[in-house]
């Protein structure tokens, strides 16, 4: 088992990662009867996409000469659709630190391809639009 989720009340859950014991609380968003005081489950999907992209780039960077992704950050925007209610678009803007401005176009291309083909990206439905932007 990977995790256990408990409904705690008032449209909230607590998810426990069984290997580490770390927890994440969720709350329904304000536009769907919640308080929006925690990540919503759909927020976690969008966040997981970006975290996976950065993590897999970090794995790839470890096999490349003198590339350290420390300080790389991402801004994520989730756009919901209705009928049926679902995530319609995830906008991910990955920003690299000044220390990586020296990378060659080939190195940048390798890292960008790695992000685009991360496991979460490959697991999302093809109807979900992903707008991925890189700022070097």
Note whether 58 and 106 are same-domain residues: yes
Per-residue confidence at 108, pLDDT binned at 50, 70, 90?
A: very high
Note whether 30 and 92 are same-domain residues: no
pLDDT, one tens digit per residue, over 1-10 is 999 999 999 9
* Domain of residue 20, residue span: 1-39
pLDDT, one tens digit per residue, over 52-101 is 999 999 999 999 988 999 999 999 999 999 999 999 999 999 999 999 99
Note whether 81 and 120 are same-domain residues: yes
**Exposure string over 83-96, b if 16+ CB within 10 A, otherwise e:** eeeebeebbbebeb
Quote the pTM value. Answer: 0.94
pLDDT in the model for residue 62: 95
pLDDT in the model for residue 65: 87
| pLDDT over 90 (residue 120) | yes
pLDDT, one tens digit per residue, over 19-33 is 999 999 999 999 999
Phi and psi angles of residue 91, each rounded to the nearest 5 degrees, phi first: -105, 125
Domain count, the chain: 2
Note whether 56 and 123 are same-domain residues: yes
Note whether 27 and 44 are same-domain residues: no
Note whether 1 and 35 are same-domain residues: yes
Indicate which CATH number applies to the domain containing 99: 3.30.300.20
């Amino acid at each position: 088992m990977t995790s256990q989720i408990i409904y705690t009340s008032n449209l909230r859950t607590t998810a426990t990662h069984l290997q580490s014991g770390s927890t994440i609380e969720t709350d329904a968003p304000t536009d769907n009867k919640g308080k929006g005081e925690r990540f919503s489950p759909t927020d976690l999907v969008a966040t997981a996409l970006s975290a996976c992209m950065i993590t897999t780039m970090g794995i790839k960077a470890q096999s490349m000469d003198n590339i350290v992704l420390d300080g790389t950050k991402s801004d994520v925007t989730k756009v919901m659709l209705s009928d049926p209610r679902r995530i319609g678009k995830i906008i991910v803007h990955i920003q690299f630190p000044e220390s990586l401005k020296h990378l060659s176009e080939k190195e940048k291309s390798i890292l960008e391809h790695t992000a685009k083909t991360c496991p979460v990206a490959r697991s999302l439905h093809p109807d979900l639009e992903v707008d991925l932007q890189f700022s070097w």
